[in-house]
Amino acid sequence: MIRNFLFSFFFFLGITIISIIFIPSFFFPRKIVLFGGKIMGHWASFCLRLFLSTKIIIKGKENIITNNKFFIASSHQSMFETFFLQTIFNSPVFILKKELLTIPIFGWYLKKIGSISIKRDKITKDNLGFFEEILKLSNSSDRPLIIFPQGTRVLPNERPQFKKGVSRIYDELKIKCQPIAINSGYTWPKKGIKNKNLNLTISILKPIEAGLDKNIFLKKLEDNIYSELDKLN
């Protein structure tokens, strides 16, 4: 319990301090703010190692797509991946629930870095323009999109069907997909006590090529990520 308290206290204290330090950067070019995001990601891993004795393992770096546009589809069990993936990939753009943008300071950061928001399970005027927005971004930038196709954080042993939105993104963008499996929920679950002395693995899987039927893509993506998570459990 003491380790849990120390981790939570120092992690959130550090994130708050980093956010405050980078407030002035909101008025400067986006790349300066993105640097703050990388620092947050490294801070998250540092706190896990220090307070929970977590061993963080990155597998499959050789699978990272280079010299081509791509988007990232990652499993989502914890806050960890929201922070840490910024240390692996260059200036990613998050697709996230709209409510996160209302969080003081952190929400401002998400807006500044160009995150794309959506209201989950609702049809709104904003959501109708969602795919046009990501298509515009993909055509004008090399920054990779990050989407969590499970839709929200889930427990480590949960296997919900992936949301169909990820298959439409694949179909609309016509670019490669970089699947990622992360077993962060055992160490840092969405609820309850955090666990110490565990391995936390980020497994970067082989890319899925562009051009597949979107339903075939969705099944392949889900099978690949869940198969890898089963191995990591």
Nearest to 194 by CA among 54, 37, 22, 21: 54
Least confident stretch, 91-95, 118-122, 153-157, 168-172: 118-122
Cβ-proximal residues to 26 (8 Å cutoff; 6+ apart), any chain:
33, 108, 109, 112
Number of domains in the chain: 1
56 versus 37: the higher-pLDDT residue is 56
Percent pLDDT > 90 in the chain is: 61
Domain containing 182 — which CATH number?
A: 3.40.1130.10
Residue 32 lies in a domain: no
* Mean pLDDT, all residues of the chain: 88
Cβ-proximal residues to 126 (8 Å cutoff; 6+ apart), any chain:
98, 117, 118, 119
pTM of the entire predicted model: 0.88
Residue 16 lies in a domain: no
Q: How far apart are CA 53 and CA 3, in angstroms?
A: 10
- What residues make up the domain containing 81? 55-232
